[in-house]
A and B are shown apart, each in its own frame.
Chain A
C-alpha cells in the first residue's frame, strides 16, 4: 500500500516526518464517514457502520471518508462532488459497488456492496491512510458544480451586466465584480450539505423573483426628481435610474399610527404599496402578532392584548418579494415619514431598524428579516437521502418550502419484460420488495394469469416483511433527527435482523419488536416533541395515502381489495384504532401498529416468498398488451401502467407515493419553526427514489 491512491486530491500537503506519521496512524484509527446517498439507503442495503467500527459524520466537514454505496445517478454524483470538495484533507473515497463515480476522483478503495465488503474496504483504507495521509505535492479538487461565474455590473446601473470588466456605457463608471447567480442545478448541488455556500445563492434573491412593479425614474443624487420615463436629471445631468414607483398614501399611514400599533407600521414604505393602493376590506382587523385573530371591529387581541390593525397592514404582505430600491431611490421617501417620532439630537432614521428592513418581505408575525433559502439535502442527516428539500427561512421559521426528488426513476422503452422486476427493484433501494411485487403483478395482469393462492400468501408476507423493515428504517431516521441516538442504534440493529429474515426468524424477532414499540411509545418527551407537528387531515390526508392517511383516520389501503390479504384476515388499521389524530405522533403510532399487524400477517402466511420466485412464476411472459397493477407499498399505494410490445416494455409509467406526500410539505410546514418543520417532513417518510421526474 502506497497511501491514498487519490493522493492528488486526497492527501494533505506535507512531508511525512515522525510526528506526521503518528498523526496519520491516529487518523487511520479515527475514520469518520460521510455516507452517500444516506444512512437510510445504507441500512436498506444491509450496511452496518457501527458494527464495522466506522463513525459517521453529519457533515462533510467532519468526515475523512466519503463512502459511496451503490450506483448513484448523475445528480447525486454532482452533489457528492460538492461534499468531497468540502471535506478537509486528508480524505479518501471508499466505493462499495458504486461502479463509475466520475466526476468524483477515482476511489481509493473499491469493494462489493456488502457488510464484508465494507469491513475489507475499511481495513484497506486504514492502511492507505496510515501510509499516505501526507504527500509532498497535492493538487486541489474543484467541484464542477461549485464553479462560480463572475460577471461585472455598474454600481449605478444594475441593468448593465457584462462578462468582462470595463466601464459602464451609461455613466462611464468602472464596472464592479460580482458572482453571477448560480444556475439552478449548480446552486442546488453547490449548497447541498453543510450550507457552506448556503447563503451564496440568495444574493439578489429579492430582485430575481420580484414581480415587475410599475417603474419610475429618479436621479441618484436628487431624489426629488422623479420622472416616468428614462432621461437625465434637470439639476445635475446624471442619468435617471429606475426604481419602483412609490405611490403610497400618506393618509393611510397616519391612520395606522392612530390605531396605536407601534410606529413601525407607519413606515411600511415603498415595499407594500401594491396592496396599499387597494382599499382594505372595511372593518376587518387582525393582530400583528397573531394573524389567526380576525375581528370585524377594532379592539385588542385576545391572545396578547395588542391593538388590532386593519388586516392588509398586518400580514398580507407575506409572500410578496419586493424589489430592492436601486441607487438612492429608497431615500426619496423622506417626505413620507413625517409621522416618525423625532428625538432631538438624533438624526431621524439613524440606525433605524425600520429603514434597514423596510424593503424586506414581511411575514405574518410582522417581523421583517432577510429571507434566506437554505437547502436541506440531498445528503442531510435525518432526512431521506436523495431528497432535495429547500426551505426559504424567515428567521428560523419556514416561509416557503420546496421538495423534489433528485433520484427520479426513468424506465427506458425496450427493456425485456423479464428484467422489469430487477430493474424496478434496483431503482428503489428503500422499497425493492414492493417494486418487485408491483412489476410481477403488472406482468401477471398483462398475461391474464393469477398466481396460485398459496403463492399469494407468501408474496404478501414478503411485502409485509418489507413493510416492517421500511418502517424500522424510517424510525431509525426519525430517531436520528430528534437526537435519540440510543434508540437509533437499537432500531437499526433490529432492522438488520429482520431485513432478510424468514418466517421463523420473524417470529423470533417479534417480542423484541413489541418491546421496541412499548419503549418508543413510552420515551419521555417524545410525544411532546411530535404531537401537533405536521398536522394533515381531511381531504389532504386522504389524498396523501398510506400511513399518513391512515394515521389521520382514513381507512384507505390497497391491501383491502387484495384477495391474498383477505385470505389472511387483513383489516385496515386507521387512526381511530390507534386513538390519535393526523400529526407526526399519530404517524409514529400508526407505523408501530402496522409493524405489529405485519408480524401477525407473516405468522399467518407461514412462509415468505423469495425474490427469485417471481420470475419463475411467469413461465410464459406475455409479449403484448397493456396492464395496470397497484401495490400498497410501506409509504402508500404505487401503481404501474405497463404497455408491452413483442416481449419488451414499450411504456412503463410508475407512480410512487412521493409526489402525493411531497405536495403536503408546502402547506404543512408554512410558518413552522425549522426543527419542527424538519420533523414534520421526516414524519411523512418520503422515498424520493424512482419518483416520476
Chain B
C-alpha cells in the first residue's frame, strides 16, 4: 500500500515537474504538453546509431532511472509513508545518485557520437565539482539530527528548519543538486547551444522517453531531498503532512528549473574552481559552525 501511494505520488510529481520545466523552457504554461509529448515520443522510431556500443547505449538510460528511483526510496512523503526507512538513508541517497555519473558516461559513450561523448565526459568533470558539496552538506544535516535516517532528519527540524539553522549548507546543497541533475545553468552534458543535446543527442523514441523520465525522477529526488534536509519535510501546520512535502518539493523544483533560464551556462573550469576553492571551504565552515551550534545551543 505504501509503495503504491509513493509510486502514484512519484508519477504525479514527475508529471508536474515536466509541466514546470516545459513552462520554464517555452515560456508558456500548457498542462497537457508532457502527456502529448510523451505519447508522441513513444510513437517515434528508435534509431540505433551506427557503430554504437549497444550495451552502454541501452543500459545508460535505464541505469539512470534506477538510480533516481533508488534515491526516491529513502525520501519520506509523510510519517510512515516511505519505501524504506534506512538507518543510513542520507548516505544511501548519495550512493544511489553516484550512479548518475556512471549512467551518463555510458549514455554518452554508447552512441558513438562526438557530441554525446564530450557531454558524458564533461559530466565527469562536473561530478568532481558537485560531489564533495553534496556529501559535506549532508554531513552537517546529519550532525544536527544525530542520525542518517531521513525521517529523523525531518523530526530534528521541528523547532527550526535547517534552511535557517544552516543557510550556507542549504545554498551549497541546492547548487550542487542542480549540478547533479544537470539543470541549467549547469547543464554542461546536454548544453543546447554548445553540444546540441550532448548526451541526449542520439537518443530517440522510447529510449529518449526513458532518459527524460529518469531525469525527471532525479530532479524530483533532489527537490524532495532538499525539502527533507532543509525545509522540514512534512512539518507544517494546517495541511496534511504529505501535502507539505509535496508543496515544498514542487517549490524547490520550480526554483531550480526557473533560476537557470535567466543565467548563462557556466564555464566548466569556472564551475570547478568555484566549487573547490569557495564551495568546499564554505562547506567545511558550515560543518564546524553546525557542530559548534549543536554543542552550545540545544535546538
Determine if A89 and B261 form an interchain contact, defined as CB atoms under 8 angstroms apart.
no
Across chains A and B, the number of contacting residue pairs, with CB separation under 8 Å, is: 170
Residues of B within 8 A of A50 (CB): 26-27
Closest-CB distance, A373 to chain B (whole angstroms): 9
Interface pair A524/B40, CB less than 8 Å apart: no
Whether a CB of chain B sits under 8 angstroms from the CB of A196 is yes
The residues of B that contact A482 with a CB separation of less than 8 Å are 193-194, 264-265
User: Closest approach, in angstroms, between the C-beta of B34 and any C-beta of chain A?
Assistant: 10
- Cα-based distance from A525 to B266 in the complex (angstroms): 8
Q: Taking the nearest CB of chain B, how far is it from the CB of A288, in angstroms?
A: 19
What residues on A are CB-neighbors of B188 within 8 Å? 675
Is the CB–CB distance between A59 and B197 below 8 Å? yes
- Interface status of B277 (Cβ within 8 A of chain A): no
Residue of A nearest to B260 (CB): A483
CB contact list, A340-386 vs B, under 8 A: 372, 374, 380-382
Q: How far is the CB of A59 from chain B (nearest CB, A)?
A: 5
Q: Is the beta-carbon distance between A12 and B268 smaller than 8 angstroms?
A: no
Q: Does B76 make an interface contact (CB < 8 A)?
A: no
A59 touches B264 (CB 8 A): no
* Contacting residues, chain A, for B50 (C-beta < 8 A): 196-197, 200
**A489 close to B (CB within 8 Å):** yes
Which among A55, A485, A676 is the interface contact of B267 at CB below 8 angstroms?
A676
Q: Report B-chain residues with C-beta under 8 Å of the C-beta of A198.
A: 113-115
Any A CB within 8 A of the CB of B233: no
Whether, in the assembled complex, A170 has its beta carbon less than 8 Å from a beta carbon of chain B, the answer is no
- B49 neighbours in A (Cβ, 8 Å): 196
CA distance A20 to B204 in the complex (A): 18
Residues B185 and A26 in contact, CB atoms below 8 Å apart: no
Please measure, in the bound complex, the distance between the C-alpha atom of A657 and the C-alpha atom of B159, giving whole angstroms. 66
Would A61 and B47 count as touching, CB distance under 8 A? yes
> Does A483 contact B185, Cβ atoms closer than 8 Å?
yes
Report the contact-size class of chain A (Cβ under 8 Å from the partner): 35 or more
Docked-complex contact B202 and A196, CB < 8 angstroms: yes
The minimal Cβ–Cβ distance linking A420 to chain B, given in whole angstroms, is 37
Contact between chains at A23 and B39 (CB < 8 Å)? yes
Known: A195-B115, A529-B266. A674 touches B194 (CB 8 A): yes
Q: Is A571 an interface residue (CB 8 A)?
A: no
- Which residue in A30, A59, A374, A525 is a CB contact (below 8 Å) of B36? A30
Choose among A62, A197, A526 the residue that contacts B197 (Cβ–Cβ < 8 A). A62
Between A23, A195, A372, A679, the greatest number of chain B beta carbons within 10 A of the residue's beta carbon is seen for A195
B147 at the interface (CB under 8 A from A): no
CA distance A279 to B265 in the complex (A): 46
Bound complex: CA of A200 vs CA of B40, how far in Å?
Answer: 31
Q: Within 8 Å of chain B (Cβ to Cβ): is A678?
A: yes
Q: Which of B178-196 contact A (CB under 8 A)?
A: 184-185, 187-188, 191-196
The interface residues of chain B lying within 8 Å CB-to-CB of A483 are: 184-185, 187, 191-193, 260, 263-265
Chain B positions 124 through 158: 1 when the CB is less than 8 Å from some CB of chain A, otherwise 0: 00000000000000000000000000000000000
Judge whether B264 and A525 touch: CB under 8 Å: yes
Q: Select A27's contact among B40, B184, B187, B193, beta carbons within 8 Å.
A: B40
Establish whether residues A22 and B187, one from each chain, have CB atoms under 8 Å apart when the complex forms. Answer: no
Number of interface residues of B (CB under 8 A): 55
Q: Quick check: A199 and B113 within 8 Å, CB to CB?
A: yes
Q: How far is B112's CA from A98's CA once the two chains are assembled, in angstroms? A: 33
0 or 1 for each of A176-209: is its CB under 8 Å from B? (1 = yes)? 0000000000000000011111111000000000
Within 8 A of B (CB), among A516-530: 523-526, 528-529
Q: Does B42 contact A (CB under 8 A)?
A: yes
Residue A252 at the B interface, CB < 8 A? Answer: no
Kindly report which residue of chain B lies nearest to residue A485, judged by CB atoms: B261
Contact A133 B43 (CB under 8 A): yes
Chain A stretch 651-687: residues in CB contact (< 8 A) with chain B: 673-676, 678-679
Residue of B nearest to A198 (CB): B114
Contact A673 B268 (CB under 8 A): yes
Decide: B43 and A12 in contact? CB cutoff 8 A.
yes
Give A39-62 as 1s and 0s: 1 = Cβ < 8 Å from B's Cβ atoms.
000000000001000010011011
B214 proximal to A (CB < 8 A):
no
B184: A residues at CB distance < 8 A: 483
The answer to whether A380 touches B196 (Cβ under 8 A) is yes
CB-defined contacts of A380 to chain B, threshold 8 Å: 196
Nearest chain A CB to B86 CB, angstrom units: 37
CB of B121 within 8 A of CB of A61, answer no
> Cβ of B45 and Cβ of A88 under 8 Å apart?
yes
Contact B43 A26 (CB under 8 A): yes
Contacts of A673 in B (CB 8 A): 267-269
B residues whose Cβ falls under 8 Å from a Cβ of A: 25-27, 33, 35-37, 39-40, 42-47, 49-51, 111-118, 121-122, 184-185, 187-188, 191-197, 201-205, 260-270
Interface on A for B, CB 8 Å cutoff? 12, 20, 22-24, 26-27, 29-30, 50, 55, 58-59, 61-62, 64, 86, 88-90, 133, 193-200, 372, 374, 380-382, 393, 395-396, 480-487, 489, 523-526, 528-529, 673-676, 678-679
- List, sorted by A's number, 5 A–B pairs whose CB atoms are closer than 8 Å: A198-B113, A374-B115, A480-B192, A483-B185, A485-B25
| 8 closest A-B pairs by CB | A198-B114, A382-B193, A23-B43, A481-B193, A26-B39, A483-B265, A195-B114, A88-B45
Q: A30-B33, A89-B45 are in contact. List 11 more A-B contacts (CB 8 A).
A: A26-B40, A61-B197, A88-B47, A195-B116, A195-B201, A381-B193, A483-B263, A485-B261, A486-B262, A528-B267, A679-B194
